[in-house]
Amino acid sequence: MQGTVQGFHYGLVTPVAAYVMACLGGALGLRCITRSLHNEASWKGGWLALGAAAIGCGIWTMHFIAMVGFQVEEVRIGYDVPLTVLSLAVAIVVVGIGVFIVGYRGARPATLATAGVVTGLGVAAMHYIGMAAIRLDGDIRYDTATVAVSVVIAIVAATAALWASVSVHGFLPSLGASLVMGIAVSGMHYTGMAAMSVHLHATSGASWDGDSPTSLLLPMLIGPVVFLLLAGVVVMFDPLLVLGDGDWSRGPAAGDAPAGTPGSFFEPGARRSEQQPVPPRDGGR
């Protein structure tokens, strides 16, 4: 028996909210990566890690907010918690691999392509591990060609995001890039969802006896959302957030800040030289 799949049970609420979270994660990640690449005083590893976690959490949160609106009319569905958490870990770790490749090896075409493929496959893996976490009285099947299209979209989106992180320096251009990235990531998700079909078991009266999707997913979404908000606070208070091209490598000018004032959460104080007074010659005469 073929199940009736609904991907928009709550109308536009879930896809719009999912898109916003994808954009937020992308915007934070792009600014962190750009900050690490274009300012020598930055703690590169810290900014790259924060950027990878922001993008990974944004993509994962987008996926499961969208899944709140997913239903199969004939049966009740639930989620396996360990697999759901594993999908979050995969998203952060594999996105991190791609981000660190670009961060430390540069943005040469071959490097960017390798990082984009790794990151895109990580995004696709997160999606399909999250789908494997679904529990219902039936079998989920996928159309191979549509799955392949979703993976290609993920790779293209990841490559474009990494390219933007090394090529777009201003705040407004980065914001525009994150909006495009949100469209691409959301497009990958809903393309993957279009590839699936549900074939119910013969005992159609049975249903999943666990917790409902909302009661499972909403508590798990709290952690990544809080992290994205905290990451946003860190990025917004960074003094180089809105600097454009040409200013990233400029050190603090005289009079910019009092001596000893820290420049950023991820800017070690040991790297910020302080002007020491030069003793006058001839006893100050």
Where do the domains of the chain lie? 17-236
Phi, psi for 69 (deg, rounded to 5): -85, 5
- The pLDDT of residue 51: 86
- The pLDDT of residue 239: 55
Low-confidence ranges of the chain (pLDDT < 50): 205-206, 242-276, 283-285
pLDDT tens digits, 24-67: 888 888 888 877 776 665 678 888 888 888 888 999 999 989 98
Whole-prediction pTM value? 0.76
Count, residues in the chain: 285
- The pLDDT of residue 237: 67
Summary count for the chain: helices (H), strands (E): 7, 6
What single-letter amino acid sits at 168?
V
- The C-alpha angle with vertex 18 and arms to 186 and 46, in degrees rounded to 5, equals 85
- The pLDDT of residue 135: 86
- The pLDDT of residue 7: 78
Q: Are 155 and 116 in contact (CB under 8 A)?
A: yes
- The pLDDT of residue 268: 46
- The pLDDT of residue 253: 42
Would strands 71-72 and 5-6 be described as parallel, antiparallel, or unpaired? antiparallel
Closest CA to 87 of 155, 189, 234: 189
